[in-house]
Structure 1
Amino acid sequence: MLSLFFAPLVIIGTGWVSSPLPLFALYIAAGLGMAGVGMGVMHDAIHGSYSKNKTVNKLVGYTMNLIGANANVWKIQHNVLHHTYTNIDQADDDMNAPFFLRFSPHAKRYWIHRFQYLYVWIFYGLSTLSWITAKDFIRAARYRKMGFFKDRREFRRTLYKIISWKILYYSYALALPLIMVPLPAWIIVLAFLSMHFVTGICISMVFQTAHIVSETSFPLPEPNGKVSEDWAVHQLATTSNYAPKSNWLSWMIGGLNFQVEHHLFPNICHVHYRSLSKIVSQTAKEYNLPYYVKKSFGGALLSHIKMLQRLGAPKQIGA
């Protein structure tokens, strides 16, 4: 996946490309590689499950920074907030979205939401562009208010690191091609944007089809802020697997078709999820607990679309 991401950019950066079609093809290939790095490389590393060696995990986790985002900010968003408060409105930061998107039945509903199942794909495609521009800064500032950064010095150091890594990313992914490729700048920028659109679509579909589907629940905390269910039961109720028999898909997306196992055992490398799934499904059945799984990715995607329609329809709970 690292090769699929970097090799096309190296070819582009040498200036060998002189026509739009190969340029777009190379950038789109890099977009698929970027998605693969995000799902199959840095994801395990930041969870601490890529290697038993903490230093290796830290170094491999920097691949998140190399693709334009920030590992430290994402660790708070994903490892802490998403994995702890899965599908809880206002607590799971993966569900926090602009007003024109509604991912929870407890979020406020606007009239435009009835069309979100049609236009959401545009914003999925733009999601990584948001990451490499403003999202890291916005979330870092919000997380500081939430107490995740110890003091002003640590927060300032985090901002410096975010800026430095983004300068490096833009330098080799966009600035160098603008200098070396003998094509109009707008074509190069458009090809760069197409890379991120492909990455955004791939990553969004993989993660959203595991939580925002018809079967999963969206629990609310009690007035004291606590969730009544056991944490493991909560993960089973809010997460769904798909395409468990597809070795190819599982490799492509870093085992994230086994999201139930990932949420229960985030510190275990994804190569073990398939074996774990047999134990987890049997245990869930034994204790009469939910264990959601779709036979195919297409089935999960269709369930996600239906859920977006339900969330956009009038007279929803919490509307």
Structure 2
Amino acid sequence: MEQIFIRPTYKKAGPNDFFRKLQKEVQDNVLTDTSIQRKNVIKSISVLLFYFILYACILIFGNNVWLLFLFYIFLGFSTMILFINAFHDAAHGAVFKNKKLNKRFMYVLELFGSNSYIWSKRHLLLHHPYPNVQNWDTDIKQSDIVHLFPESPILKIHKYQHIYMWFIYPFYTLNWLFNRDFKDFFGTKDNYLKRILRIPKIEYFKLFAAKIFNVFYLVIVPILFLNQPWYLIVFAWLVMHIAASMLGVIALISTHVDEDAVFPMPPEDGKMDTTWAIHQLTVTKDFSADNKLANFLFGGFTHHVAHHLFPHVAHTYYPKITPIIRRYAKEYGFPYTCYPAYQAIRSHYFLLKKSGVKGGLKESIFAHGEI
């Protein structure tokens, strides 16, 4: 049983590996344009300022019930846009050239009541190296209430997950605020993150401080400042979280967990039968990559294949990188998928339906040695 905790390793790429050529072409033809990087800096700062403006509007116009709810809803959307675009890029060191500026920008997650340290470690040390790898990708495996990994225990209730998960997804950010972070910090069951790092004590203090501050400025301050019943403000705050969750879930379910998703189980010795780059292509999908509005809202998630192959590159470069990836995928016969958003959501529904019954994913997983 202990062998499952051996870190997976990928095959070494050869000197003529396609990814070496792809990297060189992207470097020579795309990344030399520094104006694209500046666009990301401007976008990141603008979205952050917009967040603060919306919060100010709650305090200024919140005595009108309709405006109270309107600005809370917009604040929810702004929260997710800021997270998906600016924070996500900063966590990858892709907003500013200066590492310290990226690290400071990541404190927007504390503004949202979470912990930037634990999120970045989970995302960078587990999800990106091992996307969709069973047990290791803890961004995919978050709760026993949904069954996605074929080797995870399947419960009777999972038969209905394609129905009930759509009632749970709208509370994604609330679950993150009051549950997920605590599982990462204090949980012992399947806590792969704590197997590979020791969380500094200061982060425990920052975790609680961020959550208290988040509830204070988003709920307590408006209650004290506005001439509105406390329960109305709490309800508006809940609606804000639903708005943020609905926007965020579109990105989260559209990139790795469609009906054709593969969830490889690493061999006992941890040695995968594929290179890192081919694995990223196999388990990652794009959605609405040619839609300008979707690109603005979801940043590096619409061009998620480019993000996984070039995680330290600003998402504003991805619309120019994706056509190159498509060409290489076609030339070398590698998988590449790009769905419209509605089709990606539909495909996720069928994944939930298939994976909710025993044996439902047999045709869509890679067994040992097949990836």
TM-score over 0.5 (shorter chain): yes
4+ runs deviating over 3 angstroms: 141-145
Whether 1:22 and 2:67 are equivalent positions in the alignment is: yes
Q: Percent identity?
A: 29
What is the match of residue 194 of structure 2?
145
Cα RMSD, aligned residues only: 1.8
How has the CA–CA distance of structure 1 residues 52 and 299 changed in structure 2, closer, same or farther, with 3 Å as cutoff? same
Which residue among 333, 336, 357 is the counterpart of 1:291?
336
> Hey, what's the Cα distance between the residues in 2 that align with 1:266 and 1:80?
12
What is the match of residue 305 of structure 1?
349
Whether 1:5 and 2:54 are equivalent positions in the alignment is: no
How big is each residue's C-alpha offset from its partner over 1:72-110, in whole Å with a ceiling of 9 and x where there is no partner?
Answer: 111012121111111122110112232221122332222
CA contact under 8 A between 1:210 and 1:259: conserved in structure 2?
Answer: yes
What is the match of residue 170 of structure 1?
215
Aligned ranges for residues 6-85 of structure 1 at < 5 Å? 6-14=52-60, 16-85=61-130
> Hey, what's the Cα distance between the residues in 2 that align with 1:49 and 1:277?
17
Which residue among 143, 161, 165 is the counterpart of 1:120?
165
What is the match of residue 132 of structure 2?
87
1:304 partner amino acid: H
Aligned ranges for residues 101-112 of structure 1 at < 5 Å? 101-112=146-157
> Hey, what's the Cα distance between the residues in 2 that align with 1:167 and 1:303?
38
1:291 partner amino acid: Y
* Deviation of 1:35 (Å): 0.6
SS of match in other structure, 1:228: strand
Larger Rg belongs to: 2
* Deviation of 1:314 (Å): 4.2
* Deviation of 1:317 (Å): 4.8
> Hey, what's the Cα distance between the residues in 2 that align with 1:95 and 1:57?
25
Whether 1:206 and 2:251 are equivalent positions in the alignment is: yes
What is the match of residue 227 of structure 1?
272
> Hey, what's the Cα distance between the residues in 1 that align with 2:294 and 2:117?
28
* Deviation of 1:130 (Å): 2.1
* Deviation of 1:30 (Å): 0.2
Consecutive unaligned residues in structure 2, runs of 5 or more: 1-46, 363-371
> Hey, what's the Cα distance between the residues in 1 that align with 2:275 and 2:353?
30
> Hey, what's the Cα distance between the residues in 1 that align with 2:193 and 2:88?
23
> Hey, what's the Cα distance between the residues in 2 that align with 1:217 and 1:301?
17
> Hey, what's the Cα distance between the residues in 1 that align with 2:215 and 2:104?
20
How has the CA–CA distance of structure 1 residues 235 and 300 changed in structure 2, closer, same or farther, with 3 Å as cutoff? same
What is the match of residue 218 of structure 1?
263
Report the count of equivalent residues: 312
Greater shift, 74-83 or 16-25, is seen at 16-25
How big is each residue's C-alpha offset from its partner over 1:233-263, in whole Å with a ceiling of 9 and x where there is no partner?
Answer: 1111101011121011101111310111101
Which residue among 230, 252, 269 is the counterpart of 2:314?
269
> Hey, what's the Cα distance between the residues in 2 that align with 1:293 and 1:115?
28
